[in-house]
Amino acid sequence: MSEPMFPTLDEALTRLASTEHLLVALDFDGTLAPFVDNPEESRAIPEARDAVARLLEVSHTTVAFVSGRAVDSLSRASESPDGILLVGSHGAEYRFDGVDTHPPLSDGDRARVATLSGVLAVVSSEHPGTWVEAKPAGFALHTRGLPDELELAANEAARRAVADANLQVKVRDGKDVIEFSILSVTKGDALRHLRDYTGATAVLYAGDDVTDEDGFAALGEGDLSLKCGPGDTVANYRVASPADVAAVLATLAQERAATGR
Ligand SMILES: O=P(O)(O)OC[C@H]1O[C@H](O[C@H]2O[C@H](CO)[C@@H](O)[C@H](O)[C@H]2O)[C@H](O)[C@@H](O)[C@@H]1O
């Protein structure tokens, strides 16, 4: 973990609550929602939903979900609370104030996506228990529930097959998932864009996975980075579970509201 600016998370939250415009950016799976086998059935825990709703009621406060999911999938799983900003596909898709934006894909890009689809379909068919989730610019090969050795074999086969196809895609390791995208944007890019878009004077970002490290690294002095669960991190603070993240958000909502904003 990085050296925190304040010795305790409570002190850091109090300082953050007093900023002029606060951006609360949150990863979804593993941070607000516990892992489940079927991503379509994933939902934020009630405590997290309540805390997000309270933050959304405070003026000069913006809340965003920043996910590896495609933005449509994120919208369904998060049930897209009123006023929320959505970032999908690790920063490749935005849904802000009802407007969708994403980088245009050239014909060549679409051809690479189609080739990638075929390559991963073959890998999945050769590795029972895996399945492929489609996204606008890539795919996730899911391995949840497989024994470690089978998961490893599927991941290695996918990496090899994609490398052999010479597609030059971005590879992201996640929790029981390996992702391949023709776009290389990161959650760090997403947080920089969100900061500009909202004019935030301070940012909280919470996440649990390797891809969230790009988000943490994009934060600076006066911001707060919160890692959920175990694993190496550059975040300043750590909690154990989505329930703990929800408690942090509830505290922040309470303190932020008390500032009179
Ligand atoms: O950036 P996130 O919001 O954390 O999204 C990361 C990936 O989340 C989803 O997969 C993960 O959650 C699933 C549901 O709990 C679980 O079955 C899977 O094993 C996890 O990796 C989503 O399906 C992926 O597209 C996201 O990239």
Q: What is the pLDDT of residue 261?
A: 66
Residue 220 makes CB contacts below 8 A (sequence gap 6+) with none
Edge-first strand listing for the sheet containing 170-174: 131-135, 138-142, 177-181, 170-174
Confirm or reject: Cβ of 64 under 6 Å from ligand 1: no
- In ligand 1, which atom is closest to the CA atom of 31? 4
Domains assigned to the chain? 20-102+186-258 (3.40.50.1000), 107-181 (3.90.1070)
Nearest CA to ligand 1 atom 4: 29
Report yes or no: 49 and 13 within 8 Å, Cβ to Cβ.
Answer: no
Report yes or no: 154 and 130 within 8 Å, Cβ to Cβ.
Answer: yes
Cα pseudo-dihedral 22, 52, 67, 219, rounded to 10? 20
Q: What is the pLDDT of residue 230?
A: 97
Chunked mean pLDDT (size 10), the chain, 261 residues: 79 96 98 97 98 97 98 97 97 95 90 97 98 96 97 98 94 96 96 98 98 97 97 97 98 93 66
- In ligand 1, which atom is closest to the CA atom of 212? 1
Tokens 């776009």 sit at which residue? 183
Cα 90 from Cα 102, distance rounded (Å): 11
Q: Best substitution site from 28, 29, 36, 141 to test ligand 1's pocket, by max atoms within 8 Å of Cβ?
A: 29
ipTM of the complex: 0.98
Query: What's the pTM?
Result: 0.95
Cα pseudo-dihedral 204, 73, 164, 123, rounded to 10? 130
* Ligand 1 mean position, distance from CA 67 (Å): 8
Confirm or reject: Cβ of 28 under 6 Å from ligand 1: yes
Nearest CA to ligand 1 atom 25: 69
Nearest CA to ligand 1 atom 8: 29
Cα 132 from Cα 125, distance rounded (Å): 10
Q: Best substitution site from 142, 177, 179, 213 to test ligand 1's pocket, by max atoms within 8 Å of Cβ?
A: 177
Cα 92 from Cα 117, distance rounded (Å): 18
Report yes or no: 140 and 179 within 8 Å, Cβ to Cβ.
Answer: yes
Cα 129 from Cα 68, distance rounded (Å): 21
Chain centre to alpha carbon of residue 169: 19
Cα 229 from Cα 240, distance rounded (Å): 4
Cα 49 from Cα 32, distance rounded (Å): 8
